[in-house]
Structure formats: C-alpha cells, structure tokens
Amino acid sequence: MTTGFGHDVEEIEISDEDVTQRPPESPQSSGRRSVELGLLVLAVVALVAGVVSWQRAGDHDEAAVARAALRDTVLITARSHIETMNTLDHDDVDGGLERWQDVTTGTLKDQIAATDAETRQLMADQQMVSTGKVVDAAVLDLTASTATVIASVEVTVRNDADPSAVPSVKRNRFAADLVKVGDRWLLEGLDQVAVEIK
C-alpha cells in the first residue's frame, strides 16, 4: 500500500510539471529559450576553437623539427662521404676514385676526375690500403642547401708491400663543405684543419 501511495505521488508530481511546461510559450519562456540557444552556440564555438588549437599545437615547432632532421641527415651523409674520401685500395684505384667522384661535386669532383693514368699507376704501385673511419663529427653550419661539418677521422694505412709492418693509424681533423645537388648532399670541399697557432 505504501509503495502504491509513493508511486501515485510521483506520478502526480510529473503531471504537475508537464502541466506547467505544456502551455503555449509565454514571451518570457521563449526569451529564456533563445538565451539558452545563444549559450549553446557560444559553447560550440568555444569547443571548435579548442579543438582547432589542440590540433595546431602539435606542430608548433614544425620548422625546428624539420631543421633537426636535416641536420641529422647531413651529419650521417657527411660522415659516410668523409670515410669514402679517406678510403683507397691500391688493388682498385679506379673503383676508389669512382666512389670519390660519386660523393663529390664542383671543382673537387673535377680534380678527382682529372687524375691521369700516371698518377693512378703511382697510387697502385704504392701498395697502400687506406681505410678512413669517422670517430666523431658535428655540424657547424647549416642552410637548406649548404652545410659545413667537422670530423675527427682515424685513417689506417696498411702497406701490402710489407705484410709484417704494423698498419699506421693517424687521427686527422677535417672540415667538409657540403652542398645539396638535386636530392643528394655532396662534398664540395674537404680540407684538413691545420694547426694555425704561431
């Protein structure tokens, strides 16, 4: 009985409410409606702005990320090119010089290409096998199409004419200038960083 009574009361309450809402909209309630709709529109605008802001925030440092990626690409390429340029086997002088030409451009490439038969023969006769390894390297300057990289290079020279000799190991300081040709970074200059102190 008690449950039924409670149920009744509730139903009465709802119908009461329905009665108060049902009458045709008075000017007052339609005013409230439009205020509510206005607020809803504002809320939607705020949400859209928030979501757009969120999406654009992800690449707030897009340019810096791209530059960092370029720096890393240039460094990897330079290390590999510098090693190539410090590597030559007397058994394959032509192949070695071809690889040098492949990683260079401009006058440096022209100079390598101009290596005459006599010099090539001399290189072959020396019986030396040089192997370059970049110990450490860093990018000094970087633009979209040019770069300067410095590198500490360990060059091991083995003398095949004297198999008992211990290979000589030298550390050299190099500065490499690179330019972007098409989609490849190539060496335009490769120089040892000489001691300049008096």
Residues that bind another protein in the complex, under the rule CB under 8 A:
10, 13-14, 17, 21, 33, 36-37, 39-40, 42-44, 46-47, 49-51, 53-54, 56-61, 64-65, 67-68, 71, 135-142, 149-152, 171, 173, 175, 193-198
3-class secondary-structure state, position 4: helix
Question: Of 184, 143, 147, 151, which Cα lies nearest the Cα of 82?
Answer: 151
Shortest distance (Å) from residue 33 CB to another protein: 8
- Contact between residue 151 and residue 136 where contact means Cβ atoms under 8 Å apart: yes
Shortest distance (Å) from residue 61 CB to another protein: 5
Shortest distance (Å) from residue 154 CB to another protein: 8
Shortest distance (Å) from residue 187 CB to another protein: 17
Looking at the Cβ atoms of 23 and 58, the one nearer to another protein is 58
- Contact between residue 154 and residue 132 where contact means Cβ atoms under 8 Å apart: yes
User: Helices 93-102 and 106-113: crossing angle, nearest 10°?
Assistant: 160
Looking at the Cβ atoms of 161 and 169, the one nearer to another protein is 169
d(CA 137, CA 150): 6
Looking at the Cβ atoms of 66 and 113, the one nearer to another protein is 66
Shortest distance (Å) from residue 64 CB to another protein: 5
Helix residue ranges, H only, 27-113: 27-57, 62-85, 93-102, 106-113
Report, in this order, helix, strand and coil percent for the chain, each rounded to 5. Answer: 55, 30, 20
Looking at the Cβ atoms of 93 and 151, the one nearer to another protein is 151
Looking at the Cβ atoms of 46 and 161, the one nearer to another protein is 46
